[in-house]
Structure 1
Amino acid sequence: MNVNLLIIDPQNDFCDILGAALPVTGADEDMKRLAAFIAGHGSALSSITVTLDSHASVAVERTTFWAAHDGGEVPPFTIITLDSLRNGEYIPRDCSLLPSVTAMLEKLEQLGRHQLIAWPVHCVTGTWGHNIHTALSQQLNAWEFARQCPVTRVLKGQYPLSEHYGVFEAEVPHEDEEATKFNERLATDLLRNTDLLLIAGEASSHCVAASVEQLLGYARGKNLRLPRMVLLRDCMSAVTGFDAAERGFFERAGAQGVERLTANEAAELLD
């Protein structure tokens, strides 16, 4: 049986540990459980893919990009709408980017995707916050050594003028930015010859949800056979205040046959 494990953004900045920029309550224990799962059952895993939220310190989805109408700072978790931009309530600190940002927000609203949130600065590429949770990183290294096979690590979010929750595609793909377009190779690699796809990571309300729904949409659009898909429900948590978004995701995924099991329950599938 071919079993693939997809781990979404298991990074320090998302874990509720000292120094994290955007801690998700429960994420530290989530990652420890996931590490224990790999330690105990890694020999049954055909592949492991890890996605990494990877940003500059200034980008459209973070507070450092925006100024209030009086030039002051924009608080974390502020929602930036097209109307608030047009009304001058919030403006890019680099005014030359106004046309590009306006076009992006117009497209975002047309697509009906997540509203743009000014998040705290997090997962800046190359920093401690960008690194994989220590306990999990150790087990990934051990798995690579035992299998003599590399973990696939995929960066997302490098383009500074679009949010990038799902690993496969930015919220608003840009014609001239390949990294924002749908990553068909990654989707194909995860689905091809796979019997069981296990999914874990942070956060279930945002990046896990977007990644899974992008993959389901791709498979549906291409009329591809889906493997058995299982969310490791005790290896993911929602961003505080976004429990409703998590519940909505679980309902939509469940309606398409995606299961939710604990890591221990999923381990029984590997015997």
Structure 2
Amino acid sequence: MNTQTVTQLPIPPHFDSTKVGQVCRVPYQERASQAKVWAELHGIQPAAKDKTRICLMAIDVQNTFCIPEFELFVAGKSGTAAVDDNVRLCEFIYRNLGVITAIAPTMDTHTAMQIFHPVFWINDAGEYPLPAATILTLEDVEKGVWKVNPAVADSIAGGNYQTLQKHALHYVQQLSDAGKYPLTIWPYHSMLGGIGHALVSAFEEAIFFHNLARYSQTRFEIKGDNPLTENYSVLQAEVLAGSDGQPIAKKNTGLIQKLLEFDAVIIAGQAKSHCVAWTIYDLLSEIQAKDPNLAKKVYLLEDCTSPVVVPDVIDCTDQADEAFRRFASAGMHLVKSSDPIDTWPDIQLQ
């Protein structure tokens, strides 16, 4: 007898798709009781019994990116993209509750004084750069158009302003040399301890329900709390060493190893053009260095992720789509959340 449920399950009655764009309290004890009954009703076995082990990595499904009116809402071209993505993502989790072995949500995690936030920088007029409208180029920092704010040195560098300024120049130089995007000044977002940092309520509810129904501890992954570097990808910071060659961050080798131990890795989240694409790129780089055939075990939920689009300012749709085409050409699979997992290529549920 198969230990994994192949047929898609119904959506539990507590799920309300009209509330996915809202911040709500999850009634944990009630959902825990319901999850136990639901598992018994549908013959859902503990994840430890899975023969085909599947991990869903959900990238930055947080209020700051996914709830309208929050700091960096991913509206996409429709204006409601992240909300629509998360309706499909929650439904995907519930329908495939019996085959998803583990869920690993990443959480963008920031404090105020970080290299990509306005307070970190200052010009000769004493002004901070405008968030979302300022790109700091290597030339800007070399010419002193923008300098490190001396007031942050005490908190970030033990009061050593010259060391911090030297790091800032080194940092933008590293981005330029590596052909990466120049440093973007972002609005304060995903602030640790704040409501924007929290997972989307409906998604949190879905993964909590999964946790209790399948006895599978949710594998939270924190990223982005290093004040000296950006961290779009959960697998690796943008810059790993300081101006003195000493490490300021390290590759998330533990997570990479865990992901590649699964028979299949499913990836969704926000934003397709930024943190999702960067994470997949880093995962693919590791795969190609180890065994290119491993790319076949990665599945990208195309309808559960959207690019950054700000009307009349920036549209990353083409850039995101091109990245996903490259991932597919390397062997990864582009799939829809509505398609049963057992119909996906290169996967066999046992």
Whether TM exceeds 0.5 here: the answer is: yes
- Cα distance, 1:69–1:268 mapped onto 2, change above 3 Å: farther
Instruction: Measure the CA separation in 2 of the matches of 1:62 and 1:252.
Output: 31
Report SS of the residue matched to 2:173: helix
Instruction: Measure the CA separation in 2 of the matches of 1:62 and 1:248.
Output: 28
Decide which of 257, 261, 268 is 1:188's aligned counterpart: 257
Decide which of 204, 212, 215 is 2:280's aligned counterpart: 212
Shift of 1:74: 1.2
**1:43-80 deviation digits (Å, cap 9, x = unpaired):** 10111111110111121112222223422231122111
Shift of 1:36: 1.2
Counterparts of 1:231-246 in structure 2 under 5 Å?
A: 231-240=300-309, 241-246=315-320
Give structure 2 stretches of 5+ with no counterpart: 1-51, 76-80, 154-160, 310-314
Instruction: Measure the CA separation in 1 of the matches of 2:317 and 2:113.
Output: 28
Instruction: Measure the CA separation in 1 of the matches of 2:288 and 2:208.
Output: 34
Instruction: Measure the CA separation in 1 of the matches of 2:236 and 2:291.
Output: 19
Identical aligned residues as a percent = 30
Equivalent position of 2:297 in the other structure: 228
Q: Find out whether 1:103 has 2:154 as its counterpart.
A: no
Decide which of 116, 139, 152 is 2:206's aligned counterpart: 139
| Rg (Cα) greater in structure | 2
Instruction: Measure the CA separation in 1 of the matches of 2:340 and 2:319.
Output: 24
Aligned AA (2:72): L
Instruction: Measure the CA separation in 2 of the matches of 1:70 and 1:5.
Output: 48
Maintained 8 Å contact 1:202/1:238: yes
Report SS of the residue matched to 1:160: coil
Equivalent position of 1:87 in the other structure: 143
Whichever structure has more strand as a proportion of its residues is 1
Instruction: Measure the CA separation in 1 of the matches of 2:293 and 2:104.
Output: 20
Instruction: Measure the CA separation in 2 of the matches of 1:223 and 1:37.
Output: 29
Equivalent position of 1:21 in the other structure: 71
Give structure 1 stretches of 5+ with no counterpart: none
Higher mean displacement: 29-38 or 224-233: 224-233
Instruction: Measure the CA separation in 1 of the matches of 2:113 and 2:212.
Output: 37
Maintained 8 Å contact 1:232/1:266: no
Equivalent position of 1:263 in the other structure: 337
Higher mean displacement: 201-210 or 216-225: 216-225
Decide which of 154, 159, 182 is 1:115's aligned counterpart: 182
Higher mean displacement: 199-208 or 228-237: 228-237
Instruction: Measure the CA separation in 1 of the matches of 2:115 and 2:191.
Output: 13
CA RMSD of aligned residues (A): 1.7
Shift of 1:266: 5.0
Instruction: Measure the CA separation in 1 of the matches of 2:317 and 2:328.
Output: 16
Decide which of 235, 248, 252 is 2:322's aligned counterpart: 248
Shift of 1:248: 2.5
Figure out how many residues of one structure are paired with residues of the other and give that number. Answer: 267
Aligned AA (1:24): V
Higher mean displacement: 96-105 or 225-234: 225-234
Shift of 1:225: 4.3
Maintained 8 Å contact 1:42/1:143: yes
Instruction: Measure the CA separation in 2 of the matches of 1:248 and 1:68.
Output: 36
TM-score (norm 2): 0.73
Instruction: Measure the CA separation in 2 of the matches of 1:162 and 1:247.
Output: 26
